[in-house]
Amino acid sequence: MLPHNALVVVADGHQAVLFRNVAPQGIDLHEVERLSPQHLQDESQGKQPNETTPRDEDEATFAKQLAERLNTLVLQNKVDALAVIADPSTLGSMRKHYHKMLEQKLVKELPKTLTGATGEDIARALA
């Protein structure tokens, strides 16, 4: 069960879509924000080791920056509950940067690529 007002993040290594669950009971997702690497590049610095390819480095950097953005939202008390859906690689990179407070707010993680999916498809995946 996804709590009312939960933040749902659907991400891959290139973009993220943030939704809020507006249903008092059940799941009704409304998109609140779309993020790309350009949206996050000024918020975070840091790169992966040189052994990675440029594409892997960009994806890992985006995952890190997205996790840091989510950490900030949690620390600012803007998130009561959080669900993260991301491709396995992005999800793994994000987990390395979760703040302890974010981990406490996390109600669900799904290792799936759903960035192109509709809100209804995402709701079904969360159910």
In 3D space, the residue among 32, 17, 5 whose CA is nearest the CA of residue 117 turns out to be 17
pTM of this prediction? 0.86
Q: Is the pLDDT confidence value at 52 over 90? A: no
More confident residue, 52 or 108: 108
Which residue range forms the structural domain that includes residue 18?
Answer: 7-126
Identify the pLDDT of residue 57: 63
Q: Residue 118 maps to which CATH number?
A: 3.30.420.60
Confidence of residue 83 (pLDDT cuts 50, 70, 90): very high
Question: What is the count of structural domains for the chain?
Answer: 1
pLDDT for 66 beyond 60: yes
CA distance 33 to 77: 18
Phi, psi angle pair for 57, to nearest 5°: -65, -45
Q: CA-to-CA distance for 73 and 68, rounded, in angstroms?
A: 9
- Nearest-10 crossing angle of helices 88-95, 54-75: 50
* Six-digit token string for 98: 């979760």
